[in-house]
Structure 1
Amino acid sequence: MKIKIAPTLFASPLLLLASLTLTSCAPSVETLVRSTTRTAGEATGASPAAARPLRRPIPLYTYKVVKSWPHHNWAFTEGIVFHEGTLLESSGLYEASALLQIVPGSGQVIERRSIPGEYFAEGITVFNDRIYQLTLSGAGFIYNRENLRHVGDFSVDGAGWGLTHDDTHLIVSDGSSTIRFVNPDGFTTDRSIKVTCHGVPLAQLNALEYVKGEIFANVWRTDYIVKINPATGEVTGWIDLKGLLLPEERERTDVLNGIAYDATNDRLVVTGKRWPKFFEIRLEEARS
């Protein structure tokens, strides 16, 4: 299994062990999707009486591609976010991490800010007139939203993977099933949720985006995004993005990762690590 670890330092050995344990003991994501998007009777083949109490099926969404445009396939995408008509992208890897400003529709990089080589860039969000870029170690960088100038640093408890925000907090994933709500003043964790799908913990949560009152999260090493209730941690929807790339486009690419929502124009954009394209998509609920 590929684990995102510093060359000489675990961000959190206990977190790594917990993540591996959850991954090895939990049902596969495909199994979880199949079983939770049907009623208990449909999922097990049991009679309705034997299957009681029934859980409400979780909605499953597919997609329509509205448009696509080029994405530099050297970018190891860890997060994307809309910012004043452009896209900001956090590109990872040690000795190569950067903050990129990109023109939607063309993919042109109009600004690039490199970060020190000992950091592996992760999630990114724009909140309270500042741009926040997280790194795997939990350290992060703050930029002026007008000119992308580095204006400060921050750190959160534990490892850093995905980053987004609601009205009051930064929201952080760490590769486990836990999502933390971080106070933007002192960067302390005010509360956390455990993400579960019909009671089963869902780990490997990667890039995050806050969309219409819900948290969207990439599930690492899959083609799924989950919709999460930010109050309870319950999964409220599965988004299946299989087939975005043609088989011939998959060569030398990595996983689906990166979700950006433009609230002004109600558009959703996704991409992946070393993918050749960005995709603007429209979600459609799958019919049973």
Structure 2
Amino acid sequence: MIIVSRPERVWAVCRDVRRGFRSFIALVSLAGFYLWPTPSVTAGDRVLDQVSDASVQQYGAKLLARIPHNPSHFTQGLAFGRGALWESTGHYGKSQLIQYPWASGSTKIQPTAQLQLRSDEFGEGLTILGDTVYQLTWKEGKVHRYQIAETTITPLPSWPNDKQGWGLTTDGTYLIASDGSDVLYFHSPVDFSMVKSIPVRLAGASISRLNELEWINGRIWANVWGSDNLVIIDPDTGRVTGVVDCRQLVDDAKRSHAGAGVLNGIAWDVRSEALLLTGKHWPWIYRVSLVEHKNKP
């Protein structure tokens, strides 16, 4: 049996429900106003789109050469050191440290050494300082170290890391690391103790998801996870002084390989001044040069 109440009571109930719903929406909106995080430049193409500061130089990446790269590699780090090109790859059960011979103008590379990480470790960024390779892990709290000799790579005791491992580079004095936030950390190469940290800002806004890093001519270059752009950072202030648009490379990689992922991997050869860029599951490592773009007025 369906019981129909008096019409005026039905309308009264509906009116109260509507009022309650409006109050709920207002409360949610007010909470959102106070709880929503402060606006910042986040991963994605907005990194470039939001550049309005005339002091931030904008660049494009001019393609000079394609070097075949194993597209199964989930590239986490790329760096030159001791006459070789080094790559760190990720994924549990697939993480490796890979060494390639390198000569100026190389158009093909084949691994000369590959070291497998434990199956419960996820490889991340790497750098070379002196005769030692340093390789981060993601959430495992370890910094792996390897001694490089003429024909051998010898694992050394690992160091603890109290943050997530993302990117790693060196200025010749410190090991400089990112953890996916908007902060860069400067560590001692003696024991990985933290010496200092700097927040990274682009035109006053924070840049989070800083990923793979490279030291080039006194500046820190960084991938921004999920973005087609690189940022160039002043290591003293954390201010972004340049942005590099790499969309041409991303598009080329995806046309060549359907499984190509995000841009990630920067290597600078001081001797030949070769700048290499790649990404996760990319079929190419690209040798590029920078082209200055006219800044927006």
- Alignment-derived partner of residue 159 in structure 1: 164
Larger radius of gyration: 2
Where do residues 1-288 of structure 1 align in structure 2 (5 Å cutoff)?
25-27=39-41, 29-36=44-51, 38=52, 55-104=53-102, 105-137=107-139, 138-146=141-149, 147-244=152-249, 245-246=251-252, 247-288=254-295
Q: What secondary structure, in the 3-state scheme, does the structure 2 residue paired with 1:248 have?
A: helix
Deviations 1:45-104 (A, max 9, x none): xxxxxxxxxx54311000211211100001110001112332110011111100011244
Deviations 1:97-145 (A, max 9, x none): 0001124421312211001111100011111321111111231211112
In structure 2, distance between residues paired with 1:124 and 1:155? 15
- Please give the TM-score of this superposition, normalised by the length of structure 2: 0.80
CA contact (8 A) 1:121 1:133 kept: yes
CA-atom RMSD in angstroms = 1.7
> What is the CA-CA distance between 1:32 and the residue it aligns to?
4.3
Q: What secondary structure, in the 3-state scheme, does the structure 2 residue paired with 1:109 have?
A: coil
> What is the CA-CA distance between 1:149 and the residue it aligns to?
1.7
* Stretches of structure 1 lacking an aligned partner (at least 5 in a row): 1-20, 39-54
In structure 1, distance between residues paired with 2:268 and 2:230? 13
> Where in structure 1 do 4 or more consecutive aligned residues deviate above 6 Å?
none
Distance 1:257-1:32 versus aligned 2 partners, 3 A rule: closer
Q: What secondary structure, in the 3-state scheme, does the structure 1 residue paired with 2:86 have?
A: strand
CA contact (8 A) 2:121 2:137 kept: yes
Deviations 1:159-189 (A, max 9, x none): 1100001121100000000100001112111
Residue 266 of structure 2 aligns with an amino acid whose one-letter code is I
* Segment of structure 1 superposing worse, 268-277 or 79-88: 79-88
In structure 2, distance between residues paired with 1:221 and 1:31? 11
In structure 1, distance between residues paired with 2:173 and 2:47? 32
* Segment of structure 1 superposing worse, 240-249 or 189-198: 240-249
* Stretches of structure 2 lacking an aligned partner (at least 5 in a row): 1-35
In structure 2, distance between residues paired with 1:135 and 1:83? 20
Larger relative contact order, structure 1 or 2 (CA cutoff 8 Å, min sep 6): 2
Residue 70 of structure 1 aligns with an amino acid whose one-letter code is P
Identity of aligned residues (%): 34
In structure 2, distance between residues paired with 1:281 and 1:116? 34
In structure 1, distance between residues paired with 2:162 and 2:175? 13
CA contact (8 A) 2:77 2:265 kept: yes
CA contact (8 A) 1:72 1:107 kept: no
In structure 2, distance between residues paired with 1:127 and 1:87? 13
* Segment of structure 1 superposing worse, 209-218 or 61-70: 61-70
Residue 208 of structure 2 aligns with an amino acid whose one-letter code is A
- Alignment-derived partner of residue 16 in structure 1: none
In structure 2, distance between residues paired with 1:286 and 1:235? 16
- Please give the TM-score of this superposition, normalised by the length of structure 1: 0.82
In structure 1, distance between residues paired with 2:41 and 2:79? 31
CA contact (8 A) 2:47 2:227 kept: no
In structure 1, distance between residues paired with 2:223 and 2:196? 21
In structure 1, distance between residues paired with 2:169 and 2:41? 27
In structure 2, distance between residues paired with 1:187 and 1:57? 34
CA contact (8 A) 2:71 2:282 kept: yes
